[in-house]
Amino acid sequence: NMMDSEAHEKRSPILTSSKQDISPHITNVGEMKHYLCGCCAAFCNIAITFPIQKVLFRQQLHGIKTRDAVLQLRKDGFRNLYRGMLPPLMQKTTTLTLMFGLYEDLSCLLDKHVSAPEFATRGMAAVLAGTTEAIFTPLERVQTLLQDHKHHDRFANTYQAFKALKCHGIGEYYRGLVPILFRNGLSPIKEHLPTATTRSVHLVNDFICGGLLGAMTGFLFYPINVVKIRIQSQIGGEFQSFPKVFQTIWLERDRKLINLFRGAHLNYHRSVIS
């Protein structure tokens, strides 16, 4: 018994040390999971919904009906259908990687150091993570230029579009920043769903949350995206304020709210899929 006890004492430091060595790696893998999930989700999202987004973009920019937007794309040809996909692919994979990961990390950090209800801390974490996307406005800016058929002959690819903006200064890359900040400052609503008791219920909650958020934000922020696209379709010249551009679009569309929401039904379907 004494020999067994001594042998156990000799082995236990090694076992304890091994557990201590392994546990940080397990923790790191768990922390990285949210970042990886964000990256994969963004890639699938853009690859599947980009053609829908392109039809929607034409409606937002020109205020035309869905049928007319589809006819425009047919006229442009299949080779131009995925034109402009690289910037959103780069942007979304980067921003959603950060947003997914930062949301979880910031939520844990705020829960530990801020004495506030969980919904408040998670809401603040969502706002902080959402504004991170604003850093990558230049990619969204170039995406707008590449999707606008007026610039098809001017820019052959993403590099040319970036290079053309360079001569106008760094501010040119950040046209449309204000609408993007408005759009991204949204708190999560998952806390209002019934508490998940099983894995299947938790999965349903995730999809309901995603669907509701997509439909709600897509509808509420649709006019903001219309203004953003108009701002970002311009190259050079005066930097017009958000209210001024909104007023211009409002007058162009006969002062009818319904004309500002052209394509909103298509955006709803795209948002639910996303």
Kindly report the pTM of this predicted structure.
0.61
- Asked if residue 177 has pLDDT above 80, the reply is yes
Tokens of 91: 């942007």
- Asked if residue 37 has pLDDT above 60, the reply is yes
Q: What is the DSSP string of 144-157?
A: HHHHSGGGTTT-SS
Alpha carbons 233 and 46: distance in angstroms, whole number: 21
pLDDT value of position 16: 45
Is 205 in contact with 40 (CB distance < 8 Å)?
A: no
pLDDT band for position 197 (50/70/90)?
low
Alpha carbons 102 and 35: distance in angstroms, whole number: 8
Question: pLDDT, tens digit, for every residue of 68-121?
Answer: 999 999 999 888 888 889 888 887 888 778 777 777 788 888 888 888 787 788
Which 3-state string (H, E, C) describes 82-144? CCCCHHHHHHHHHHHHHHHHHHHHHHHHHHHHCCCCHHHHHHHHHHHHHHHHHHHHHHHHHHH
Alpha carbons 86 and 94: distance in angstroms, whole number: 12
pLDDT band for position 22 (50/70/90)?
very low
Is 246 in contact with 227 (CB distance < 8 Å)?
A: yes
Closest CA relative to residue 268, chosen from 127, 59, 64: 59
Which of 61-70, 117-126, 154-163, 245-254 shows the lowest per-residue confidence on average (mean pLDDT)?
117-126
Q: What is the DSSP letter of 262?
A: T
Mean pLDDT of 128-148: 84
Per-position b or e across 155-167, b if 16+ CB within 10 A of its CB: beebeebbebbee
Mean pLDDT of 122-132: 77
- Asked if residue 268 has pLDDT above 60, the reply is yes
pLDDT value of position 26: 41
Residues with Cβ within 8 Å of residue 48, at least 6 apart in sequence: 273
Q: What is the DSSP string of 164-199?
A: HHHTT-GGGGGTTHHHHHHHH-----GGGSPPP-SH
pLDDT value of position 9: 46
- Asked if residue 50 has pLDDT above 80, the reply is yes
Which of 37-46, 160-169, 240-249 shows the lowest per-residue confidence on average (mean pLDDT)?
37-46
- Asked if residue 172 has pLDDT above 60, the reply is yes
pLDDT band for position 156 (50/70/90)?
confident
Closest CA relative to residue 257, chosen from 225, 222, 229: 222
pLDDT value of position 160: 92
One of 3.30.390.30, 1.10.10.10, 1.20.120.50, 1.50.40.10 is the CATH number of 28-273, namely 1.50.40.10
Mean pLDDT of 225-234: 91
CA atoms within 13 A on the CB side of 13: 4
Burial zone of 236 (CB within 10 Å; 0-12 exposed, 13-18 middle, 19+ buried): exposed
Q: What are the residue boundaries of the structural domains of the chain, listed by start?
A: 28-273
**Average pLDDT over the chain, rounded to whole?**
79
pLDDT value of position 78: 87
- Listed ranges 16-30, 118-132, 234-248; the one with the highest mean pLDDT: 234-248
- Asked if residue 243 has pLDDT above 50, the reply is yes
Which has the higher per-residue pLDDT, 124 or 25? 124
Taking only Cα atoms into account, the Rg of the chain, rounded to an integer number of angstroms, comes to: 24
